[in-house]
Amino acid sequence: MLGGWEGFMIKSSVEALMGPRSLGRSMDPATTHAIPMRRLQRLKYHHPSTPPITKPPSRSSSSSSSPPDRRVVIDFLQRKRKSPNNEQQEKGKAQSPDEWNDEELRSLLSSASFTQTHLLQVIRALNDTQTALRFIDWASCHHSPPLHGPSAFQTLFDAASRRLPNPHLRLQELLHQSRLRGLPLTADSASLLIHSFSAVGWVSQSLQILHDLKPHLRKTPLYNHLLHLLFKSDRPSDALSLAHHMLDSGRRPNQVTGAILFSALLKRSNHGVDEDSIARLVLELGRHGVFPDTVQLTQWITRLCQNCGTVKAWDLLHALKDLGAELQVPSFNALLASLGRERDFHRMNLLLAEMKEMGVEPSVITYGILINQLWRQEEGLGLMGRMLMQYNCSPNTVTYNCLIDGFCKAGEIDNARELFDGMTEQGVPPNVITMNTIVDGMCKNGRISSALQFFKELRGKGLEGNAVTYCSLIGASLHVNNVTKAMELFEEMVNGGISPDSVTYFTLISGLSQAGRLEEASSVASSMEEAGFHLDVASYNVLISGFCRKKKFEEASKMLKRMEEAGVKPDEVTYNTLIAALCKGGDILTANEVMSKMIEEGCVPSVVTYGALIHGHCKVGNLDEALKLFRSKAASGIRPNTVIYNILIDYLCKGNELDTALSLMDEMRAQGVFPTATTYNSLFKGLRDRNLLDKAYELMDQMNEQGCNPDYITVEILTEWLSAVGETTRKDG
DNA sequence: TTAGGGTTAG
């Protein structure tokens, strides 16, 4: 059993002892000490294992149904209470129960018509706890058959629970009296006490009642009440332990148990409750035929997938299926979506087959998930066709959006556009997401004017753009350095009443910085702050890097200060940017100081940091130092990447160390790092300077074999060089 | 179940 009921109970009892201070105070000191312990032990209480002779009276039992004897006894006892003897007690002197050892009363009680029921009615009617307690003790000794103590106390508990204010304090005191007499609680008493204690938040005391109760009296509703209380008191782990204890001790859960556990466990994101324990509980409840409903199960599967991957969710769903739970499409959809995200097509197919076997019909959402996960769009189209034909299940806007997005991501803009026209023909209305998907697809494929045209077209048909639409268009314009267009779009957006969000701001700041338009970038940053957004570390980094590229180090440093003042801590990227800027200026000393600061601040220098430093050494002509750093970092396990190899190869070529450069390229390949056009360009330049044509041909072949495309620089170097030596074409083309 | 941005070294 997980969590440990024992430990839990020990903790609870400790809390009960240490609990609210008011507990320590007795309700009425005279009552508590009225009967010495020795006397209590002599009292002949009816043995609890025998069932009560009669059921305790309900509150509704009217006096008209009572025999006259009852009235006589009450009158007698009340008379006694007003007698001079009682005055002694009021002065603090304990009154002995023997004072009731009175012939008159004894004969009243031994009348044949005076039953246990009447005794309990008397207790209730006494309307004074102190007198009632003394009467109970007295009657337990003198009445025959003996008074059933637990029932008598139940009557007292019942009466006390109705007396305001603070019934819980009275009950606590009565419980103390009951415990002093060694009486076990009846199931009804326990229920009443738990309800009263839990109403005032006495969690441990409530749990203690359950603990004290004989196991066969710990009924499911009591557990349910306590489970609810524990969740309400933000103790989900204890609730889980209690639930496990309930099940381990053979108590059957009911639908209420399920409702409490399922909804509470789903509400909490994960407060110290581990998923395995919950999953075991869900299965255990399932064994008793208590299952979560479809909504709960679906939420639960989604959460399991997010937190633990699909395997546990898969197992849970199948275990519930084996237990006979009625599973519905949404639960399957949740699992299918996660399997799709993990690209586990095998299990997706298995699950679909199972759905078919179980007669669970796929929904539009199922198809949306399937289409969204398909790489090849023909399959998506085929599936959509089958949806229409086989299942009479029409694709909706989302289905089309997923397909259109697939075409766009595959660069098939024309197909995307065709599908868009197709959906309109089919009467499926495109929404703003459809529009944005196509607009962005066009932008990403370099077709900005088509995107603008398409946007205009749809606006004419009443489909309005939003921040996402403008963000795609602005980002694409900046990407091709069309700052004017980007700013124009931004203005149009704001004038059109569309508020830019943080993504739009970042796109602008980043694009403007990269375009070297730092003044505009800074002013957008200010607008962003005025609009109530905070610049994040990435925004500051692009600004700092922009200033550094422009060699505006003072501005960069001002931005760094602004960043720190805003409480945004420089990160690894910030430090790398600064180190690179210093290295570019040849100031390796300061660059190393910044790196020390970086380490002090808890950032770990990476391959990017060392790349910048290696570049710095090269820049100041210290190739040896550069190679030394390169070797030491490679030895310490930092894998050099393309950029680092390219820097070194470039400077080796420039420094007339062509052989070292060529062997470094071999090493690069051996390390599984592929040379790029930049690598080849450096080498071609080096070879050209020494007119090593054959080696150049060799490299051209390698480049070709490797599938590395020459860029415009490659073309420029080679055409100039080869035409100069009179060979513009090669024999094998 | 669907749409936009994530910075640093060549």
CA A635 / C1′ B9 distance in Å: 20
Q: How many angstroms separate the first and last alpha carbons of chain A?
A: 76
A256 pLDDT more than 60? yes
Q: How far is CA A687 from CA A31, A335, A563, A719, in A?
A: 109, 58, 47, 14
Going by C-alpha positions, the residue among A569, A648, A577, A651 that lies closest to residue A609 is A577
Q: What is the pLDDT of residues A105-152, one digit of tens each?
A: 777 677 666 777 777 877 887 777 787 888 788 777 776 667 788 888
Strand B, CB < 7 A, residues 192-231 of A: none
Q: Is the CB of A714 under 7 A from strand B?
A: no
A60 pLDDT more than 80? no
Give the separation between CA A560 and CA A576, rounded to whole angstroms: 13
Helix (H) or strand (E) holding A334: helix A329-341
Q: Is the CB of A445 under 7 A from strand B?
A: no
Nucleotides of B under 7 A from a protein CB: 1-10
**What pLDDT shows up at residue A439?**
98
Strand B, CB < 7 A, residues 543-582 of A: 545, 549, 571-574, 576-577, 580
**What pLDDT shows up at residue A361?**
85
**What pLDDT shows up at residue A591?**
95
Strand B, CB < 7 A, residues 346-405 of A: 364-365, 367-369, 372, 396-399, 401-402, 405
Residue A347 burial by Cβ neighbours in a 10 Å radius (0-12, 13-18, 19+)? middle
Q: How far is CA A564 from CA A505, A535, A536, A541, A557, in A?
A: 20, 11, 11, 12, 11
A385 pLDDT more than 90? no
A38 pLDDT more than 70? no
**Count of alpha carbons within 13 angstroms of residue A173, beta-carbon side:** 20
More confident site: A390 or A369: A369
**What pLDDT shows up at residue A341?**
82
Give the closest nucleotide to A467 (alpha carbon vs C1'): B4
Q: How confident is residue A99, by pLDDT bands cut at 50, 70 and 90?
A: low
**What pLDDT shows up at residue A388?**
60
Q: Is the CB of A339 under 7 A from strand B?
A: no
Amino acid occupying residue A235: R
Q: How confident is residue A492, by pLDDT bands cut at 50, 70 and 90?
A: very high
Give the closest nucleotide to A619 (alpha carbon vs C1'): B10
A730 pLDDT more than 60? no
A49 pLDDT more than 70? no
Strand B, CB < 7 A, residues 451-490 of A: 466-469, 471-472, 475
Q: Is the CB of A53 under 7 A from strand B?
A: no
A448-468: b or e for each residue (b if 16 or more CB lie within 10 Å)?
Answer: bebbbebbeebeeeebebebb
Work out the average pLDDT over A185-196: 90
- DSSP-derived secondary structure for A193-261: HHHHHHHTT-HHHHHHHHHHS-GGG--HHHHHHHHHHHHHTT-HHHHHHHHHHHHHTTPPP-HHHHHHH
Give the separation between CA A575 and CA A595, rounded to whole angstroms: 7
A352 pLDDT more than 90? no
CA A499 / C1′ B2 distance in Å: 22
- Closest CA to the C1' of B5: that residue is A503
Q: How far is CA A491 from CA A157, A497, A724, in A?
A: 75, 10, 52
Radius of gyration of chain A (CA): 42
Q: How far is CA A451 from CA A114, A441, A703, in A?
A: 97, 8, 36
Work out the average pLDDT over A201-214: 90
**What pLDDT shows up at residue A124?**
80
Q: What is the pLDDT of residues A258-311, one digit of tens each?
A: 989 888 888 765 556 777 888 888 889 999 999 999 988 998 898 888 888 899
**What pLDDT shows up at residue A605?**
93
Task: Give this prediction's pTM.
Answer: 0.63
Average pLDDT, chain A: 82
A31 pLDDT more than 60? no
Give the separation between CA A454 and CA A476, rounded to whole angstroms: 15
Structure-token pair, residue A164: 């305001």
Q: Is the CB of A612 under 7 A from strand B?
A: yes
**What pLDDT shows up at residue A236?**
84
A621 pLDDT more than 70? yes
CA A462 / C1′ B1 distance in Å: 26
**What pLDDT shows up at residue A387?**
64
CA A634 / C1′ B4 distance in Å: 39
Angle at A94 between CA A88 and CA A99, to 5 degrees: 80
Work out the average pLDDT over A579-600: 93
**What pLDDT shows up at residue A92?**
39
More confident site: A108 or A509: A509
Ranked by mean pLDDT, the top range of A62-66, A74-78, A288-292 is: A288-292
